Amino acid sequence: MDFKQFEYVLTVFEEKNFSKAAKKLYISQPSLSQYIGRIENRLGITIFDRTANPIKLTNEGEVYIETAKNILNLVEQMKRKFHDISKLNIGKLNIGLTPSKANYILPKILPCFKEKYPYIDLSITEASSSALEELLAKDMVDICLMNLPLKNSNLEYVPILTERILLCAPPYYKFKKNSQNKDYPEIDISDLKDEWFILLKPDQRIRQINNILFYKAGFKPKILLETMNIETAQRLTSEGMGFCFVPESAIMYGLTCQPNYFSLGNPALTWTIAIVFNKNAYKTKAAEAFAEITKTVVSKITML
């Protein structure tokens, strides 16, 4: 839409004279008259009664002026909102993340983000890694915090942390003290082929990593139950129900249960947390700000 037409008509209305309006607009009086004439012809109306002195609005002209003022006011409001969004004074952000990130990492990130950007409206979508990839590809979330690898080639990512995946064992489990590991004793997963496991759902990334681990060890695990929640698995393990796998961040953020933890393999079994975007979609400034704060907060976590 050409907003210049509103400016020209409003100036003539305010000045009540084409010559004065033309001087104010820095154009010639004939050019201004022709321009407004074209507007009138296009709309099929007469805006100004040129026989009056000073000129005055027709009935249609009054409707035009009222509408033009409303439109220009909306445009000004729109510009102010654009400015506020660019300065992150307002905005919306839909964050997608896996349940483990919602439990352990997000509570460390959001207070920092809200302190700096208090007027950004946040919404959280929790889902498995596979579901998050699909949501991000469809632009149903703006940014994701999840684990690599990615299956969708239309997504891009920034790795922010590599952490160990640990075996969480019931308190009763007796292990062989043959490891030089200073924090978590190393354990051979093959020693647990007769034990019960509490595993995450098949579409969750840590379960997919576990499946590869079991395959390489040459046995199929005895599965007591499956859950989407790592904390649930840990608490069941702490009650002696079976073994489970947890990322190291699940321990660092202070759960109350006290099972035993072991490292797996040499080098240790790990996964990488990443900030993920749809590379074919527009990155909002709110999403970019969240990514930067996430990198800053996570970088302070001492892992490997």
What's the pLDDT tens digit per position in 41-92?
999 999 999 988 899 999 999 999 999 999 888 888 887 778 777 778 888 8
Whether pLDDT at 217 is above 70: yes
Q: Dihedral, CA atoms, 250, 204, 261, 296, nearest 10 degrees?
A: -30
**Radius of gyration (Cα) for the chain, nearest Å?**
32
Residue 24: enclosing H or E segment and its boundaries?
Answer: helix 18-25
User: What pLDDT score was predicted for residue 178?
Assistant: 53
Mean pLDDT of 147-154: 90
Whether pLDDT at 176 is above 80: no
Its pTM surpasses 0.75 = no
The more confident residue out of 297 and 79 is: 297
pLDDT band, residue 299 (cuts 50/70/90): confident
Long-range contacts of 35-38 (CB under 8 A, 24+ apart): 35/5, 35/8, 36/8, 36/9, 36/12
Whether pLDDT at 143 is above 50: yes
CATH 3.40.190.290 positions along the chain are: 161-271
User: What pLDDT score was predicted for residue 304?
Assistant: 39
User: What pLDDT score was predicted for residue 209?
Assistant: 93
User: What pLDDT score was predicted for residue 113?
Assistant: 93
Q: Which amino acid is at 101?
A: K
CATH 1.10.10.10 positions along the chain are: 4-86
Residues 6+ away with beta carbon under 8 Å from 53? none
Round to whole Å and give the CA distance between 168 and 248: 10
User: What pLDDT score was predicted for residue 236?
Assistant: 92
User: What pLDDT score was predicted for residue 252?
Assistant: 66
Q: Which amino acid is at 277?
A: F
pLDDT in tens, 10-24: 999 999 999 999 999
- Between the CA of residue 253 and those of 152, 210, 248, 302, 303, what are the distances in Å? 30, 22, 9, 12, 12
DSSP string, 67-97: HHHHHHHHHHHHHHHHHHHHTTSSEEEEEEE
pLDDT band, residue 280 (cuts 50/70/90): confident
* CATH number of this structure's domain 4-86, picked from the four choices 3.40.50.2300, 2.60.40.10, 1.10.10.10, 3.40.190.10: 1.10.10.10
Round to whole Å and give the CA distance between 41 and 39: 5
Whether pLDDT at 303 is above 50: no
E strand segments, the chain: 48-49, 56-57, 91-97, 120-126, 143-147, 155-169, 186-187, 196-200, 222-227, 244-247, 260-264, 270-278
End-to-end Cα separation, the chain, in angstroms: 57
Architecture of the domain defined by 161-271: 3-Layer(aba) Sandwich (3.40)
